[in-house]
Amino acid sequence: MTAETGRRPMRADARRNYEKLVAAATESFLANGPDASLDDIAKRAGVGPGTLYRHFPNREALLDAVCVRWADSVAADAAPLLEAADPTEALNAWLVRLVAHVSEFKGLAAALLLSSDRKHDTAWVLHHTSDELVERAKAAGGIRADVTTSELMQLTSGISYACGHSKQAGKPTSTPERLIGLIMDGVRTR
Amino acid sequence: MTAETGRRPMRADARRNYEKLVAAATESFLANGPDASLDDIAKRAGVGPGTLYRHFPNREALLDAVCVRWADSVAADAAPLLEAADPTEALNAWLVRLVAHVSEFKGLAAALLLSSDRKHDTAWVLHHTSDELVERAKAAGGIRADVTTSELMQLTSGISYACGHSKQAGKPTSTPERLIGLIMDGVRTR
DNA sequence: TTGCTAAGCGGAGACAGTCTCCGTATTGTT
DNA sequence: AACAATACGGAGACTGTCTCCGCTTAGCAA
């Protein structure tokens, strides 16, 4: 879902507004969570609500546009890990980073992570880079062959969710590293 | 958060309305998810919105009241497992059931599961019964001693969340059983 | 340039949901 | 029977979502 919608290129003012909206939305979602007011985002972007709703028919579409940009930067973060000496540890490190990024992003992407359908490019980008790391670890015999990337993504996004929502009560909740570690323990070949 | 609020017993009409509200809320949350309209719930219960908001200052309080009842019935489900011959497999079975119950309940409880603070009895009840099964499995040497009940609960609620939110795209998402299985693989002594 | 047209804009306003305030009604006690 | 104390409920203020449609502007062609 880039700024080009299908046929002919967007008109200059349309593209300008599109960019302003994504920027305002990013800021606002980060500040106020995924429930931030859309009309308010339009206001921040200096456009009317009608304009927002033409570009993004609903909240999810806007969220997705924001997340895709974020996902690209996260995926870039994986590049060095693809060269790492120990692919299994690289995978572990990646999953930890993934959870950290999702948390940093206030869980905006958590829901999007899960849908591997083509509607959400966010999911696709992250699934794809994860997949490379998984395949590499499998090839090196470091992890079980029967475990799929989707499964790891489900578990990882679940951890992001859980870590993001745990009210820190008396007992400190476990760190993402720890929980990812437990999963890797179940997945590693022995 | 029972129907008794601290000091003296509720007045008869108050208690009656409390019950009607919880019943209507259960029905409505189940039908429309956790975002069901509160005013509508009040209407279904045959009371005014003011009454609803006196009993439950916010959506979460109402959700919690609904979930506590549900949690009690779920916890009851664990009783036979506490007598099972193989405590580790009993734990596994319990976690699977837990995820199933949470899913059945449309994830209403997912958020509540995580907060181990005293505000949410839902969390407490389920944490408590889980704990018994965990301790039993540890005592039998079936699972690692360093894994805590909280950690398992975090992972389990994460799985519930992930399974509940995965848009079923081309590839069928993994079953809860499978994901719980992976976690148990990491947790079992070997 | 100028003029035309498709594309895009934006704000008024209909609608839905949340939550409060306060006059009225009910309960349970003496 | 009378009277606190408690609870009820609906009007309405407020906030957010989303649509409709008359107006504006970009881009193109003459």
B130 has a pLDDT exceeding 80? yes
Same domain for A49 and A87, yes or no, is no
Residues in chain B: 190
Instruction: Identify residue A182 by its one-letter amino acid code.
Output: L
Cα distance from A96 to chain B (closest Cα, Å)? 15
Report yes or no: B103 at the A interface, CB cutoff 8 Å: no
**Higher-pLDDT residue of A17, B4:** A17
Inform me whether the pLDDT recorded for B119 exceeds 60.
Answer: no
Q: What is the number of structural domains in chain B?
A: 2
Identify whether residues B142 and B166 lie together within a single domain: yes
Can you state the angle between helices A59-76 and A38-45, rounded to 10 degrees?
Answer: 70
Say what angle helices A176-187 and A87-104 make with each other, to 10 degrees: 140
% of chain A exceeding 70 in pLDDT: 86
The predicted pLDDT at position A4 comes to 46
User: Same domain, yes or no, for B144 and B164?
Assistant: yes
Helices (H), chain B: 12-32, 38-45, 49-55, 59-76, 87-104, 110-114, 121-139, 149-165, 176-187
Residue B6 lies in a domain: no
**For the domain that residue B115 is a member of, what is the CATH number?**
1.10.357.10
**Rounded-to-integer distance, Cα B164 and Cα B103, Å:** 6
User: Does residue B27 lie within any of the structural domains?
Assistant: yes
Examine the domain organization and report whether A102 and A175 are in the same domain: yes
CB contact under 8 Å between B154 and A155, yes or no, is no
CB-nearest partner of A154 from B111, B115, B162: B162
Q: Please answer yes or no on whether B169 and A117 come within 8 Å at the CB atom.
A: yes
Give the pLDDT confidence of A174-187 residue by residue, as tens digits.
899 999 999 999 99
Q: Whole-angstrom Cα distance, residue B79 to residue B152?
A: 19
User: For A78-122, how does the pLDDT look when each residue is reduced to its tens digit (9 = 90+)?
Assistant: 999 999 999 999 999 999 999 998 887 876 776 566 554 545 677
Q: Provide, rounded to the nearest whole percent, the portion of chain B with pLDDT above 70.
A: 86
| Contact check, Cβ <8 Å, A114/B178 | no
Determine, yes or no, domain membership for B62. no
Does B177 lie in the same domain as B109? yes
Which residues 24-63 of A interface with strand C at a CB distance below 7 A?
A: 46-51, 54-55
From A23-27, B47-51, B169-173, the region with the lowest mean pLDDT:
B169-173
Same domain, A146 and A84: yes
In a domain, residue A7? The reply is: no
- Tell me if A179 sits within 8 A of B154, measured CB to CB: yes
Same domain, A140 and A161: yes
Chain C footprint positions (protein CB, under 7 Å): 7-13, 16-22, 26-28
Convert the pLDDT of each residue in B140-164 to its tens digit: 999 999 999 999 999 998 898 888 7
Residue A39's domain spans which residues?
12-57
Q: Are residues A85 and A117 in the same domain?
A: yes
B125 pLDDT band (50/70/90 cuts)? Answer: confident
Domain shared by B46 and B134, yes or no: no
Work out how many CB contacts closer than 8 A connect A with B. 121
Residues composing chain A: 190
A11 touches strand C (CB under 7 A): yes
Q: Is residue A143 part of a domain?
A: yes
Look at residues B79, B89, B93 and name the one whose alpha carbon lies nearest to residue B156.
Answer: B93
Q: Quick one: closest CA in A to B157, which residue? A: A162
Q: Is the CB of B37 under 7 A from strand C?
A: yes
- Report if residue A39 sits inside a domain: yes
Residues B44 and B79 in one domain: no
Q: Residue B58 — very low, low, confident or very high, per pLDDT cuts 50/70/90?
A: very high
Nearest to A174 by CA among B147, B124, B131: B147
A153-163 average pLDDT score: 88
Classify residue A4: in a domain, yes or no.
Answer: no
Q: Is B189 on the interface with A (CB under 8 A)?
A: no
* CB of A118 less than 8 A from some CB of B: yes
| Predicted local confidence at residue A5, as pLDDT | 41
Q: What b/e string do you get for A13-30 counting C-beta neighbours within 10 Å, with b at 16 or more?
A: eeeebbebbbebbbebbb
Residues B53 and B89 in one domain: no
Indicate which CATH number applies to the domain containing B50. 1.10.10.60
Q: Are residues A84 and A176 in the same domain?
A: yes
In a domain? residue B162: yes
Distance A10 CA to D23 C1' (A): 20
Q: Are B91 and B156 in contact (CB under 8 A)?
A: no
